[in-house]
Amino acid sequence: MAKSKFEYVRDFEADDTCLPHCWVVVRLDGRNFHRFAEKHNFAKPNDSRALHLMTKCAQTVMEELEDIVIAYGQSDEYSFVFRQKSNWFKRRASKFMTLVASQFASSYVFYWRDYFEDQPLLYPPGFDGRVVLYPSNQTLKDYLSWRQADCHINNLYNTVFWALIQQSGLTPVQAQERLKGTVTADKNEILFSEFHINYNDEPQMYRKGTVLVWQKVDEVRTQEVRLPAEMEGKKMTVTRTRTRPLPLYCDLIGDAFWKEHPDILAEEE
Ligand code: DGT
Ligand code: MG
Ligand code: MG
Ligand code: MG
Ligand code: MG
């Protein structure tokens, strides 16, 4: 096909190819979810409906897009890790980022009602995205550890903060004052002595966040028999093994997880 004289404008497109052999991480974060959570009456400090909806959206992203080997989510964020040698869309960062963000955001609206039955969605939520490249297994593991440590620090703080408000009647300013300068041990102690809460008994999903990895599952369904003719119309069950992105609420910081799932990082030479 003959090229038009306008063809030259293509050269203005910036090259945003991700460096070869690096892990490509796309992290999404809810836009102004402080307000979104208030308006939609999220439970404090953790709303399990909201967290499960986020995970449903992340599972949809993993199923619909290519080459994502693991995802990790907490609060209003999710990180997706594309395999090192992925050549999806020629490794263009803008393709990775926009496809993840748009697939995630449309899923959030699409599946909202399945999780928030009595709470209407009041306005369309948005998610920002960024791409970060990690050149080695160690830096990738440290990235995921960083997000999980962030989850732990915020969740411990929020758990005490909201206990002080909801159970001891402090104002948010008073609760903030009370927690100023406290370290982890102090917060655990306040929870235990004042509220009889053993932090380690809090749900794993809140303390650790959600890890999505591909796992084999047997899916059973019934289908009608076509042949032979004398069996026609009869139903039988068929079991198929598929891989699905399923949630784990586990530690990513130690070695155990990576030893149990050696395939995730196996690509590196
Ligand atoms: P951004 O990301 O700069 O546009 O602004 P935000 O407001 O989204 O800030 P961010 O992402 O640092 O913090 C997440 C906010 O989302 C934080 O204010 C608490 C809220 N949030 C996330 N998950 C929950 C939840 O399960 N329950 C409640 N009540 N709030 C939540
Ligand atoms: Mg932010
Ligand atoms: Mg946010
Ligand atoms: Mg956030
Ligand atoms: Mg097109």
Pocket-testing residue among 34, 127, 150, 205, ligand 1, by greatest number of atoms within 8 A of Cβ: 34
Which of the ligands is closest to the CA of residue 32? 1
Handedness of CA 101, 105, 110, 114 (dihedral sign): positive
Q: What is the mean pLDDT of the segment spanning 14-25?
A: 96
Tens digits of per-residue pLDDT, 30-87? 999 999 999 999 999 999 999 999 999 999 999 999 999 999 999 999 999 999 999 9
Percent of the chain scoring above 90 in pLDDT: 90
Tens digits of per-residue pLDDT, 152-176? 999 999 999 999 999 999 999 999 9
Interval between CA 68 and ligand 5 midpoint (Å): 21
- Give me the pLDDT at residue 221, please: 86
32 pocket-lining for ligand 1 (C-beta < 6 Å) = yes
Percent of the chain scoring above 70 in pLDDT: 99
Q: Which band of pLDDT confidence, cut at 50, 70 and 90, is reported for residue 267?
A: confident
* 265 and 140 Cβ atoms separated by less than 8 Å: yes
* 76 and 33 Cβ atoms separated by less than 8 Å: yes
> Does 115 score more than 90 pLDDT?
yes
H/E stretch holding 158? helix 137-166
Q: Which band of pLDDT confidence, cut at 50, 70 and 90, is reported for residue 116?
A: very high
Provide the whole-model pTM: 0.94
- Give me the pLDDT at residue 61, please: 98
> Does 27 score more than 60 pLDDT?
yes
Tens digits of per-residue pLDDT, 193-221? 999 999 999 999 999 999 999 999 998 98
Pocket-testing residue among 33, 57, 115, ligand 1, by greatest number of atoms within 8 A of Cβ: 33
Interval between CA 23 and ligand 5 midpoint (Å): 25
Strands, E assignment, 101-253: 127-134, 210-224, 235-248
Q: Smallest Cα–Cα separation from 236: which of 213, 219, 220, 258?
A: 220
How far is the CA of 24 from the CAs of 82, 130, 267, in angstroms? 5, 10, 13
